Chain A
């Protein structure tokens, strides 16, 4: 939608007299903060304030009814001995580490397939995008649970090929593949973004490469990948951050318990259970802050390493 990555704006009307200019500036400052007020209020009351209080709560024992009791770093220390917590970290990490790259690979592959088409691209693009709009809903979680349940269509289909896994929902080693399939199924949103990026790659680059005798593999690694790298970076960052926050699907599929055997006890689900079923608000706050720190570190690593593989081409700065 825009190419300008800078904050600089075309400046105010040129060279009015000095006093007028400073009066204008004062008026602009007042107007600026007046217009900004809704966001500013929300930012302070709903983001900054709560962040500070959850940081404080993370050092306390608090059950919503008695006043918070300061316990220092105890919550954080307990977390690392809490097997369910460690389990939820493992579940979430494997979901992020396997689900996100698979989803993005599917998105890129299908985008490249569609980009080669002359007709019907719009239809396929919409059809493939649809799951992204509904995938995180309670309805789809219910459908997923039914489809992957005992003698559901997935089990039936696999039995046809002689694979008898039974229901995936009740099998602790199959719930993760099931959840990953649910996220891969929603490959449409990053695909649409990839497709828009692919269309920006000048066709003459490929033509020149063909004339030099480059095959499809070389074209992919030498043209498509570097030219698309800003889009890949954007999708990777956003999808990773979102994957950490999966909640509704896991809640519905496991009846809010994270079972079987903790195999769907995702980080946010455990946080919810600790905070809102056990009313251990301090403990849950410590979990929330750990999540912020981890996501922050990951974002930082992404931005630091991006310099070596993300190329912003000349015209987009």
Chain B
């Protein structure tokens, strides 16, 4: 069960040499390489086109989005759409939506880091009865469609009067409900040498000491991956806020976007797309800054986008 989630070896290992028959001449190699780049660049163009189209359209006047005008370029590029988009919707400014998204995302990161690392330490480093049973259950929740829990959860939060607060959206993060991150950290800790805690134990350190003084500092790579992905997942989350939040003042960006689409329905295309760009901006910045980290994380830990 665990092998399937992590089919690859550590990234630190040197990659095996790529197959390369020695008989090929230098000329043939050049041609092959040129063909590769032509194909790969063409594919890059296709893959990135929707994103480019989105960014280009966000700077165009409404009359030039769609219609016979298919070129990405325009002579009338301006920030007008962004000015409109920043005004927000339903009497709430876009800055407020941004702040809300940020509060939720930071809450998600803090909660996940705290709860997942502590729980993962128990799974990876402490021997106690029932551990493997619980570990199996944790893996099973990875595959469980979460829709089976949303209705009862909603009912409970509704009866507790917590609908239209951030508590239902954040409590799961503080209770390690994203099993993926627990799993990721367990796998990471298992690869740390056991001699570390054994030596500390002989010196009389308890689990709290071992966890805070030895494990946490060594787990930095896993903690960074977890932070990046829990931030992005929270930032893009739509269903959670859709279920629990009713007042626009509390909306995060994805929900504000939906409100915008509902209320302006194609009357202001440009502003709608500008707001879509704004909503993705932090994710794109994260990606550019932590690019290698994100892609390495996916390739070694099988994290999903």
Contacts and interface: CB of A to CB of B under 8 A. Distances in A.
B47 A127 contact: yes
Interface stretch (B74-82, B86-94, B169-177): B169-177
B158 A247 contact: no
Residue from B121, B154, B177, B292 having most chain A Cβ neighbours under 10 A: B177
A258 interface: no
Interface in B22-76: 33, 36-37, 39-40, 43-44, 47-48, 50-51, 53-54, 57, 65-68, 70
B175 A134 contact: no
A1 B190 CA distance: 10
Given A138-B257, A144-B50, A242-B304, A46 B3 contact: no
Residues of A in contact with B, size category: 35 or more
B276 A200 contact: no
Contact of B272 (A43, A134, A142): A142
A237 to B, nearest CB: 7
12 contacts: A5-B3, A9-B127, A40-B134, A43-B138, A50-B156, A134-B51, A139-B280, A142-B273, A192-B295, A196-B300, A276-B243, A316-B7
A125 B191 contact: no
Task: Give the top 8 A-B pairs by smallest Cβ distance, nearest first.
Answer: A42-B175, A32-B128, A132-B305, A39-B119, A35-B122, A139-B276, A50-B152, A196-B299
A191 to B, nearest CB: 9
A5 B147 CA distance: 29
Contacts of A70: none
Nearest to B137: A43
Interface of B: 1-11, 15-21, 33, 36-37, 39-40, 43-44, 47-48, 50-51, 53-54, 57, 65-68, 70, 114-116, 118-119, 121-129, 131-132, 134-135, 137-138, 141, 143-156, 158, 171-172, 174-177, 182, 184, 187-188, 190-191, 194, 198, 201-202, 206-207, 211, 232, 236, 238-239, 242-243, 253-254, 257-258, 261-262, 269, 272-273, 276-277, 279-280, 283-284, 287, 291-292, 294-295, 298-305
B141 A47 contact: yes
B236 A136 contact: yes
A2 B191 contact: yes
Contacts of A295: 143-145
Nearest to A38: B115
Interface string A266-309: 00100110011000010011001101100100010000000000
Residue from A54, A110, A188, A244 having most chain B Cβ neighbours under 10 A: A54
A189 B282 CA distance: 20
Interface stretch (A78-86, A113-121, A170-178): A113-121
Contacts of A247: 238-239
Contacts of B3: 3, 5, 230, 312, 316-317
B176 A39 contact: yes
Nearest to A42: B175
A97 interface: no
Contacts of B132: 7
A1 B10 contact: yes
Contacts of A10: 194
Contacts, number: 353
Nearest to A274: B151
Given A29-B129, A252-B261, A292-B148, A146 B57 contact: yes
A96 interface: no
Interface string A136-176: 11111011101101111100110000000000000000000
A203 B17 contact: yes
Given A64-B158, A288-B145, A248 B239 contact: yes
Contact of B298 (A156, A192, A276): A192
Contacts of B33: 117-119
A71 interface: no
Contact of A230 (B7, B153, B177, B207): B7
A180 interface: no
Given A132-B305, A203-B16, A36 B119 contact: yes
A150 B155 CA distance: 41
Interface in A231-250: 231, 233-234, 237-238, 241-242, 244-245, 247-248
Given A127-B47, A142-B261, 17 more contacts: A1-B184, A1-B300, A2-B190, A46-B171, A126-B292, A128-B44, A129-B295, A133-B232, A134-B51, A138-B258, A146-B66, A188-B305, A197-B7, A248-B239, A252-B261, A276-B243, A284-B151
